[in-house]
Amino acid sequence: MGDRIMNTQALIDTAQALVADHKGLLAMDESTPTCNRRFAALGIPQTEDARRAWRELIIVTRGLNECISGVILYDETIRQHTQEGTSFLNVLIESGILAGIKVDMGAKEVPEHPGEKITAGLDGLSERLAEYAQMGARFAKWRAVFAIGEALPGHPCIEANAHALACYAALCQDAGLVPVVEPEVLMTGTHTLARCQEVTVQVLTSVFHHLQEQEVMLEGIILKPNMVLPGLNCAEHSTADAVTDATIACLLQVVPVTVPGIAFLSGGQSPQMASSRLNALNTVSKTPLPWALTFSFARAIQQPALEIWHGENVNVEAAQAALLHRARCNHAARRGAYTDAMEQSNP
């Protein structure tokens, strides 16, 4: 706690830097099994060197720093080097991009609550945070997931995940790292937009209750929530305006004005949808919103580039162009300047 107070100004400065200049975050912190699954789907070898090559391709992309303020790395990645021998951390520091690190140990099944998961990783977390801070990381990420079902998510699962998120956030601030707090209500299911709004409000209310209990300094966090969306298999159509209104209403209801930034995850939306919805969120409100609304996308920035790269050296340049294109689209969406025409001029 004493350390948290000493770190106050640095934490505020880092959180502000993460949302400055209409930039956003690029999540490239897939765990090894998740990264391998995405590679396997495209026939890319699932080796440490292929993962390294893919992550190198991303961070050396020229111009990325004009749109991206921070990237989120995975433990394997934060220790890797480019083929020429420069550490990934130095590449990022030299390009003015802040390094973040995923520190949770994944969402684990709870046998007594079928269909629900609780995120693990508090054991030994202080020591891990201290090491990452010493290496040069400036922020961290912890993700909790909530599936929507008839009786899901249950109260105990919401409470357990919110409590863990708050403990993580407090430990991050003690270590001088800005916590990215990610409670993700999943898109899978047949639920309506209204049900997603109800669950997201419930989850975020519990998260902020626990953050306040743990005396987390809200000016020094970034919230990473889902957009409020109907389930992927929902029979009812929701208009783009309904989605925007539900998301803004939910956030205004539960997110304190002291939180500097809300960086949405993409959650399996198509890259174009994610950009277009972020754009709408940044244009709909007639009065200025209290927080910056930005992005912290993984799939919605990486996927088109990964499909082009396909594990082949000859495709590196084209993949980097596709990656930069998505970063630029989302940078534009933060200013409400994203248009269909930007997609037509896609390289």
Residues present in the chain in total: 347
Smallest separation (angstroms) from ligand 13P to the CB of 186: 10
Around Cβ 101, how many Cβ atoms within 10 Å? 25
Amino acid making up residue 238: S
Q: Which residues on neighbouring strands pair with residue 146, listed in sequence order?
A: 185
CB of 27 to ligand 13P, least distance (A): 3
- Do 333 and 263 meet the contact criterion of CB atoms below 8 Å apart? no
Q: Judging by beta carbons within 10 Å of its beta carbon (0-12, 13-18, 19+), is residue 91 exposed, middle or buried?
A: middle
* Least gap, CB of 140 to ligand 13P (angstroms): 12
- Closest to ligand 13P by CB, 7 or 187: 187
In the bound state with ligand 13P, the residue whose beta carbon lies nearer, of 231 and 267, is: 267
Phi, psi of 57 (to 5 degrees): -50, -45
CB of 95 to ligand 13P, least distance (A): 21
CA pair distance 115, 109, nearest whole angstrom = 7
The distance of closest approach from Cβ of residue 162 to ligand 13P in the complex, given in angstroms and rounded to an integer, is 17
Q: What is the C-alpha end-to-end distance of the chain, expressed in Å?
A: 49
Count of C-beta atoms within a 10 Å radius of residue 173: 27
Which residues, at least 6 apart from 268, have a Cβ–Cβ distance to it below 8 Å? 187, 232, 299
User: What does DSSP say about strands 24-27 and 117-119: parallel, antiparallel, or unpaired?
Assistant: unpaired
Are 12 and 219 in contact, with CB atoms under 8 Å apart? yes
Choose between 30 and 56: whose C-beta lies nearer to ligand 13P.
Answer: 30
Minimum separation from the CB atom of position 105 to ligand 13P (A): 13
Burial class (CB in 10 A: 0-12, 13-18, 19+), 108: exposed
Taking alpha carbons only, the member of 343, 338, 328 closest to residue 240 is 338
CA distance linking residue 188 with residue 229, whole number of Å? 10
66 part of the active site: no
What are the counts of helices (DSSP H) followed by strands (DSSP E) for the chain? 14, 10
Shortest CB 149 distance to ligand 13P, Å: 20
The one catalytic residue among 182, 213, 236, 307: 182
Q: Is 224 marked active-site?
A: yes
What are the tokens at 346? Answer: 């896609």
Both tokens of residue 2? 């004493």
Secondary structure class of 105 (helix, strand, coil)? coil
If the CB atoms of residues 38 and 191 are measured against ligand 13P, the closer one turns out to be 38
Catalytic residue among 23, 102, 117, 224: 224
Site residues, ligand 13P (CB under 6 A) = 27, 143, 182, 265-267, 297-300
Catalytic residues: 182, 224
